[in-house]
Structure 1
Amino acid sequence: MQHPVIERSSRMPAPARRRRAPRVALMGAVAALAFGAAFGAPVGQAFAEASSVTTAPATGPASFADVVDRVKGAVVAIKVKGYEEQHGNPFEGQEMSPDDPMYRFFKRFGGETPQKHMTQSQGSGFIISADGYVVTNNHVVEHANEVEVTLEDGRTLPAKVIGTDKRTDLALVKVNDGKLPFVEWSSAQPRVGDWVIAVGNPFGLGGSVTAGIVSARGRDIGAGPYDDFLQIDAPVNRGNSGGPAFDAHGNVVGVNTAIYSPSGGSVGIGFAIPSEVAKDVIASLKDKGVVARGWIGVKIQPVTPEIAESLGLKANKGALIAQPQKGAPAESAGLKAGDVITAVNGEKIDTPRDLARRIAAMGPNKTVDLTYVRNGSEKSAKLTLGKLPEEKEARVDDEDTGGGVGGGAQVAGLGIEVAPASEVRGAGGQGLYVTDIDPDGAAAQKGLRRGDVIVEAGGQTVTSRADLASAIDGARKEGRRSVLLRVKSADGSKFVAVPVKQSAG
């Protein structure tokens, strides 16, 4: 069974020829309106006087036609032309000597020099102002050399990309054609169970509408560091990317972006960027052409139940600092690896993603108060946010890699062999280098790899196997089920709570 993945699909899809593995797919082909009916389910009502159950139809709109008539003129199709470099050798498999007269021909034209070829894709969008600003997805226009917008009345207009934001997959383009129909963002967040109407151009079909409900909020589908998607069951398909999701009043509650599907078509699980996120990003793109986000300069990771128990926390909430960046605002304010950030300006932080979104939304140069826990005590720090550098995120990578050497001493109970890092060339000189690991052992099961360097155990630095053994014994004596290790790899630092066996007796 294959796990779902994010797939960008901004080209026009070809007819399906075989079944595909389940995936979460970005719908960057053509946005459209696929009209569907919604029916109310019967609701049972129990009476105290009798055991019989009567049913009555649930209330709901008899038709979405009036709403659709009001908003459809603001929904557009977006056609994109671009160029991509094609790598690879079309003559791969041809074997010949450098002395062969055709050798130079194959070397020159066989793919070592990238060849550009034109691509065409389509998506959806919607007009948010009478002067022609159009919202769509970044993945619809990110490789664009030419952008055209087709209006509901059939006219096609050239468009200019004003700005894009890869992290939220949003983009803003502009057309010029006098006064255009437009729609507005919703001022209220939709609730789970509220009606939602998706409008766009699925599979290149023009002007289609579907209806359903909001199935869930706050979905993280692995698309980016600020995932906070609405899940909707209004059918959306390839080509709906960038199209709007409306509430029953015709206000935009989301921007359709992705689907989960085993075949590329709708199975009732779609994802939309909520309006409360989208409207702030779009406003920044309109004003500056870019989105400037706040930044404190830390790598963070979740507080698992094992880590919470190892740190003596009452709940597994907050964002654990795995590594502060040198010279960044967090380090300048005194925050250290092992601190757990629990609140920003008095508002609680439940997860690392909460922290990343909260800090990013504030923007640079803002002063914030951070509440954090260190060694069981609550502390606070005031700092001024920096600007998030390009392609940097407040996160810790999931995969660690590293080479290994032999000759380490085994650590009982963890399933690893270690050697002082000072004795291993290129290991950095501090901590214990993991020279070997039992793939079925406790450490391997928690993600440690050969080549990792253990720099702390139980909150104390370690330079020898005896230091690590002492930390394990200390965890046992305190009745803890795990020992907390701070581990460095080629990709950075993270904390790992490794189970320890309790002494018999």
Structure 2
Amino acid sequence: MKHAAGTLAFLARCVVAGLAAAFVIGLLWPASGERLRARLHLPVAQTNDAPPLHAPASYADAVAAAAPSVVNIYADKIVNERAIKMYDNPILQQMLGGTLTTYARREQTLGSGVIVSAQGYVLTNYHVISHATDIQVLLYDGRVAKATLVGADDETDLAVLKIDAGNLPVIQLAEQNLRPGDVVLAIGNPLGLNQTVTMGIVSAVGRQLNASSAEDFIQTDAAINLGNSGGALVNTTGQLVGINTLLINQTTNTKNIGFAIPAGTAKKVLDQIVATGHVVRGWLGADYTFVPVDANSGLPPAARGASVVDVYPGSPAALAGIQSRDILLRIGDDDIRDPADLRRREAAIKPGTKVEISGLRNGSPFHVTATLAERPPMSAAAATDNGEQQ
């Protein structure tokens, strides 16, 4: 026992002496450790001396890349207004009062647009040029071109214009998936202030602005004002990520809540309008809501799937036998996550396509086959009834 205790004591003294010696050597010759590692071919310890990543001090390069593709749009409209016509003769005015009349006046609206094709196609908002009798486009280099309307889509509030001009700067579309927190820049013509740039972040993606819409929108806190409609929302490299469209109504006392149409959605709308003059979406013909869950079940407030609220008479859903309060769980080969997911999936299916739909009715599984129709038009006012167009 004494022998073991003596051995441990000896080892402890050796360790202490070794540590003390290493401390003195390291203090007097700081580089000796690295030389010893190199001689013994041992890996050198890595130091974390790399400077931390910082946001760029300027986004001027992104603006320089995108701004030439952003144009100003001036649309002349004839607006009919009702008024009371008063008589010049005081006696007639006293006897007959005024008469209701209608008169026409010319109104010019300001907006923005983005050049998306070397063939002269420009994307903007439909509400900027709707009912316009004359549309003029001011290019970045000062040229002015007359624009013609190729087609429009009420549901996304997008319109495609065509201008006859050469040497057009075409914006590059981003392929990245936006995430909340990404920095974005809005470029447009707010209040007639040409080529104004504002900065913000992506506040959210996948926003539904209308319960019956099949499209998602980007929410951003980049300042969007009157005249920004149809302008570009770009990333920090100047690539197009969205088309600015509206902000929440100012009477709600909200600030920095704007919306943009994702660039991918805008590209699909552009391609269809150029090819056919309008956008075609599949339609099942029913309204949906979240699947209800009992409050005391301990589950989230909504389960997977979509609950049918109403079925339109004569619609594909009605002809297939889908009923109110049915819970739809699958369309074709795809599971249904929620009502918005179902609307997106049905809109992507070509009208006339037969698709199998599965779900639950009174707790029992059912399967039906529906032939989708073309989605009927939805007014731009209905598509944006939660906000104020700019």
Q: Scaled by the length of structure 2, what TM-score is found?
A: 0.75
Partner of 1:73: 68
Q: How many residues align?
A: 330
Letter of the aligned partner of 2:342 in structure 1?
Answer: L
Contact 2:110 2:191 in 1 (8 A): no
Q: 1:101 to 1:195 in 2, by over 3 A?
A: closer
Partner of 2:232: 244
Instruction: Specify which structure has the higher proportion of helix.
Output: 2
The CA deviation at 1:137 is 0.5
Letter of the aligned partner of 1:322 in structure 2?
Answer: V
Q: Within 5 A, what are the aligned runs for 1:301-380?
A: 301-305=289-293, 315-380=302-367
Letter of the aligned partner of 1:193 in structure 2?
Answer: G
Q: Percent identity?
A: 37
Q: 1:237 to 1:391 in 2, by over 3 A?
A: closer
Letter of the aligned partner of 1:139 in structure 2?
Answer: H
Higher gyration radius (CA)? 2
Partner of 2:265: 277
Distance in 2 between residues matched to 1:381 and 1:62, nearest whole Å: 58
Distance in 1 between residues matched to 2:260 and 2:55, nearest whole Å: 23
Distance in 1 between residues matched to 2:74 and 2:211, nearest whole Å: 23
Partner of 1:190: 178
Distance in 2 between residues matched to 1:308 and 1:348, nearest whole Å: 26
Distance in 1 between residues matched to 2:54 and 2:375, nearest whole Å: 47
Q: 1:139 to 1:179 in 2, by over 3 A?
A: same
Distance in 1 between residues matched to 2:211 and 2:107, nearest whole Å: 23
- Structure 1 window deviating more from structure 2 (342-351 vs 372-381): it is 342-351
1:160 to 148, 153, 177: 148
Unaligned runs of 5+ in 2: 1-50, 383-390
Q: Within 5 A, what are the aligned runs for 1:64-463?
A: 64-89=59-84, 103=96, 106-107=98-99, 110-111=100-101, 114-222=102-210, 225-260=213-248, 262=250, 267-305=255-293, 315-391=302-378
Contact 2:290 2:305 in 1 (8 A): yes
Deviations 1:434-469 (A, max 9, x none): xxxxxxxxxxxxxxxxxxxxxxxxxxxxxxxxxxxx
Q: 1:346 to 1:260 in 2, by over 3 A?
A: same
Distance in 1 between residues matched to 2:212 and 2:129, nearest whole Å: 18
Deviations 1:252-311 (A, max 9, x none): 1111111236479994322111122221112111111111111112233333335998xx
Contact 1:260 1:270 in 2 (8 A): yes
Q: Within 5 A, what are the aligned runs for 1:38-57?
A: none
Q: Any idea what SS the aligned residue of 2:136 has? A: strand
Letter of the aligned partner of 1:205 in structure 2?
Answer: L
The CA deviation at 1:325 is 2.7
- The alignment's C-alpha RMSD in Å is 3.4
Letter of the aligned partner of 1:198 in structure 2?
Answer: A
Q: 1:372 to 1:313 in 2, by over 3 A?
A: farther
Distance in 2 between residues matched to 1:305 and 1:71, nearest whole Å: 48
Q: Any idea what SS the aligned residue of 1:355 has? A: helix
Distance in 2 between residues matched to 1:238 and 1:265, nearest whole Å: 17
Partner of 1:480: none
Contact 2:212 2:287 in 1 (8 A): no
Q: 1:333 to 1:168 in 2, by over 3 A?
A: same
Contact 1:122 1:140 in 2 (8 A): yes
Q: Scaled by the length of structure 1, what TM-score is found?
A: 0.59
Q: Any idea what SS the aligned residue of 2:127 has? A: helix
Q: Any idea what SS the aligned residue of 1:369 has? A: strand
Q: 1:205 to 1:317 in 2, by over 3 A?
A: same
Distance in 2 between residues matched to 1:209 and 1:376, nearest whole Å: 54
Distance in 1 between residues matched to 2:323 and 2:212, nearest whole Å: 25
Q: 1:392 to 1:131 in 2, by over 3 A?
A: closer
The CA deviation at 1:351 is 3.0
Letter of the aligned partner of 1:162 in structure 2?
Answer: V
The CA deviation at 1:330 is 1.6
The CA deviation at 1:212 is 2.2
Distance in 1 between residues matched to 2:311 and 2:319, nearest whole Å: 10
Distance in 2 between residues matched to 1:179 and 1:301, nearest whole Å: 49
